Structure 1
Amino acid sequence: MNTVTDRRAVARQRTPLNRSQIAGFWGAWAGWTLDGMDSFIYALVLTPALTELLPRSGFAATPSNVGLAGSILFALFLVGWGLSFIWGPLADRFGRTKVLAATIFTFAIFTGLAATSTNVWQLGIFRFIAGVGIGGEWALAGTYVAEAWPEDRRKMGAGYLQTGYYAGFFLAAALNYTVGVHFGWRAMFLTGAVPVVVAILILLRVKEPEKWQKADAKTVRVKPLREIMGPAYRRRTWVACILLTIAIIGLWAGAVYEPSAVIQLAARAGMSKGDSIRTASLATGLLSIGTILGCLALPPLAERIGRKMTLAVYFAGMAVSIAASFGWAFYLPNGLAPFIAWLFVLGFFGGNFALFSLWLPEQFETRVRATAFAFCTSFGRFVGAGVNFLLGAAVLHMQTLGVPIALTALVFVLGLFVIPFAPETKGETLPQ
């Protein structure tokens, strides 16, 4: 009996974190939180911003023009995300924390500048450059936590880290509920400049991970992008690209169009414009809570049944919840409550992104890890930009929001056939 108790006590023990590891995690988490807030601000202020800026740019602010311009600008934003692969080689060469701070500086400054836009062209440029910074933050934050945290804690660290992005969704919804409703879309973009403070703290207080320092000291300089495309890594690189592309398509199809869908359903239920906006903010908060719970549930599940099976469970959940919310509840006569209920389920399985924070670092050695992470995420964003543009065109052509978004559930079904080609890294330590 005592032996069993001793084993449980040992199992509960974890390697303590030092001050730099704690500060580094909270810096990465805060950056990822503000990154999520920043990227979701656009979805929340899309209609009021374009309603004001389109006439100044020579276009009528009709619902169709707002929808089309919104899709084009968001596709441009995703292209900026795609170009963020430039941060990976820089981080492999110059260090994780310095480049992480640079990504935060970039997206914070240009999000703040978006508040000064006088036409849609300026807004598009500011969002494009902000996207370059936002896209790099995940790769650098995920790489940092994987390398800086002890082996027995880094897996849960990946789940904790990923909650930040969706806490950012919740924060954006709360700001929209308060600041946005009372002070307008420009004030919302101004709040996106706050992360500059986080970047400064990271530069001043966080040390480089020892794993990177050791690898940097003994590594003969190679071209990391060429190496991840070489024989040793080619297959896992492209499989990861495909799986991340599927996850990104589902995330943006559901999350970006969710506020507009809720506003439409609320208006159909007879709510005023202000109440519709508040309902959309509350629904976004519920979506975010569901996703945070999904992120926290994922690492223990991945340790129990493996990385590939866990992703299959989450992809299947995404397929069902997207089809049920946008393809079924959206078209019910009184569909607002069922749609919002399904958003919670969609949010939970949207926590599949936490798996990539855990899994991608396990597939690549330290000297190319940041490059691989950044490349795989960027590839998915390029494709996501094209899909987002097609979705906007489909919404305009079909004159409905639900069916085009519901059809994205099919990509998760495709993903179930791709997962078997990925490597299973359950039980393996982080490669040096």
Structure 2
Amino acid sequence: MNTTNRVTTASTPAKTFEAQGAWLLVFALGYLALIADGADVMMYGLTLTRIKDEFALSNVQAGALGSLTLVGMAIGGIFGGWASDRLGRVRVVAWALALFSLGAGMLGFTHNFLEFAVVRFISSLGIGSMVLVTTLVAEYVPTERRSLILGALQTGISAGYIVVIALSNWILPHYGWRTLYYVSALPVLLALAIKFAVREPASWQASRAAARENKRGLVDNRYYLIFSHRQSRTLFILWTLASVFALSGFYGLNNWLPTYLEKELHIKFSAMAGYMIGTYVVAFAGKIIAGWLGDRWSRRGVYVLGCMGAALFLPVIIFWHTRENIVYLMFFFGFMYGVPLGTIGTFMSESFATSIRGTAVGGSYNLGRFCSGAAPVVIGYLATQFSIGIGFLVVGAVFFLSGVTALFIPDRLHDTQR
């Protein structure tokens, strides 16, 4: 009797340590994957001016390349979300990371608009499934710290922005834009590490086991499960709308912000890189504070305030910037920009049950990406007719609408570890 008690007592700390070590490993690898994701997304904006000059692209064509990327991401993410429920989160994340890394490297070998567009579309199919990194980590981390940890995870995207901005400041002037894309193939090694070092989450394994036991025709169809249940159907639609608005803002801004600073504010490339690094460093703080507040207050409340704060501050930058205050304005905006990104992963993951989480999150988020594909083209058109700054006013409007939509989404519906 006593022996049994001693064994049980001794084994509990060991199991706790093993569980903690597992989620820390998943967090670390997921963080590196999001660095690669963020670097890839930012890279196009940083190389856009040089690609436009070499390929003789119009503003609309340049915007179309950004939009094509978003369409590919949407298609890949929708399929990847479905596949992650069927085949596993780890397998899909690893293959997606390998696809977009190798595809990004191949962009350095393109020589015209069509070649670049085709390769970029194929590689973007993998980028779309990177949203599942958040789902994977969410199914590992402790419930009481989930929002903080996922907020910290989202800083990986900002870290990716900073890494590629720093690299571009060194590589672009000396080696050209192609070399930057060659370097971007390196994360394929990370894909191998994820594939062989990470096990599928226990909640996913339990969900698959239950599905095998209760398999009955249409019930195995994840979209049928989503749309046959009123609450999950409503949440899927709301998250699709919130994603359309938010991602139109994020991708429209990321595609055109470097060009805006360089061409309309007449900031030299080296100084522009410093401004952007500072902005995304401050976004780190925004994401982590948002995650902390999400645990202690409300995922929804933090997301809504972040969206509306970013929306209301963009016009301040457009109309009231000067050479003296632009640094402070950019830094404050970077903080507000980071807040919704710091809580969206937890907020969205907890909206759906484990059995449909990958499909629902991947589907709604990437339908949003698909629709947001128009944003870079719209900003490109407005830049041609008026200015990029006018296009950024539209970005502010869609950020605000995402916050309004999120008001109708309940908080903390499902524990991602069950």
With normalisation by structure 1, the TM-score equals 0.87
Q: Closer, same or farther in 2 for the Cα pair 1:326/1:227, shift >3 Å? A: farther
Residues 30-429 of structure 1 aligned to structure 2 (within 5 Å): 30-54=32-56, 65=58, 67-84=59-76, 85-138=78-131, 140-219=132-211, 220-221=214-215, 222-230=220-228, 231-265=230-264, 267=266, 276-329=268-321, 335-351=322-338, 352-398=340-386, 400-425=387-412, 429=415
Letter in 1 for 2:250: L
Listed one character per residue, the Cα deviations across residues 182-240 of structure 1 (whole Å, up to 9, x for unaligned) are 11100111121011010010111111111111111111451112222232411111111
CA contact (8 A) 1:21 1:206 kept: no
> Aligned to 2:139, what secondary structure does the other structure show?
helix
Mapped partners of 2:188, 2:300: distance in 1? 37
CA contact (8 A) 1:290 1:348 kept: yes
CA contact (8 A) 1:216 1:367 kept: yes
CA contact (8 A) 1:265 1:336 kept: no
CA contact (8 A) 2:73 2:127 kept: yes
Mapped partners of 2:375, 2:112: distance in 1? 25
Tell me the equivalent position of 2:11. Answer: none
Q: Closer, same or farther in 2 for the Cα pair 1:186/1:320, shift >3 Å? A: same
Q: Closer, same or farther in 2 for the Cα pair 1:424/1:19, shift >3 Å? A: closer
Q: Closer, same or farther in 2 for the Cα pair 1:327/1:388, shift >3 Å? A: farther
Moved more, 382-391 or 105-114: 382-391
- Structure 1 unmatched ranges of 5 or more: 1-14, 55-60, 330-334
CA contact (8 A) 1:321 1:343 kept: no
User: Which of 22, 28, 31 is matched with 1:29 structurally?
Assistant: 31
> Aligned to 1:363, what secondary structure does the other structure show?
coil
Mapped partners of 1:169, 1:389: distance in 2? 22
With normalisation by structure 2, the TM-score equals 0.89
Give the superposition deviation at 1:304: 2.9
Tell me the equivalent position of 2:12. Answer: none
Mapped partners of 1:236, 1:337: distance in 2? 45
Mapped partners of 2:280, 2:237: distance in 1? 29
Mapped partners of 2:168, 2:323: distance in 1? 20
Give the superposition deviation at 1:392: 1.2
Mapped partners of 2:374, 2:114: distance in 1? 19
Letter in 2 for 1:292: F
> Aligned to 2:103, what secondary structure does the other structure show?
helix
> Aligned to 1:407, what secondary structure does the other structure show?
helix
Mapped partners of 2:75, 2:37: distance in 1? 16
> Aligned to 1:152, what secondary structure does the other structure show?
helix
Tell me the equivalent position of 2:22. Answer: 20
Mapped partners of 1:315, 1:18: distance in 2? 33
> Aligned to 1:423, what secondary structure does the other structure show?
coil
Mapped partners of 1:135, 1:327: distance in 2? 34
Q: Closer, same or farther in 2 for the Cα pair 1:374/1:192, shift >3 Å? A: same
Give the superposition deviation at 1:151: 2.0
Give the superposition deviation at 1:265: 4.7
CA contact (8 A) 2:247 2:372 kept: yes
Mapped partners of 2:374, 2:89: distance in 1? 30
Letter in 2 for 1:286: G
Q: Alignment identity in percent?
A: 24
Q: Closer, same or farther in 2 for the Cα pair 1:336/1:225, shift >3 Å? A: farther
Mapped partners of 1:189, 1:216: distance in 2? 39
Mapped partners of 2:118, 2:415: distance in 1? 42
> Aligned to 1:115, what secondary structure does the other structure show?
helix
Mapped partners of 1:129, 1:401: distance in 2? 28
Mapped partners of 1:407, 1:87: distance in 2? 30
* RMSD of aligned residue pairs (Cα, Å): 1.8
CA contact (8 A) 1:263 1:279 kept: no
- Structure 2 unmatched ranges of 5 or more: 1-15
Listed one character per residue, the Cα deviations across residues 168-188 of structure 1 (whole Å, up to 9, x for unaligned) are 000110011111221110011
Give the superposition deviation at 1:429: 3.2
Tell me the equivalent position of 1:10. Answer: none
Mapped partners of 1:121, 1:365: distance in 2? 42
Give the superposition deviation at 1:431: 6.7
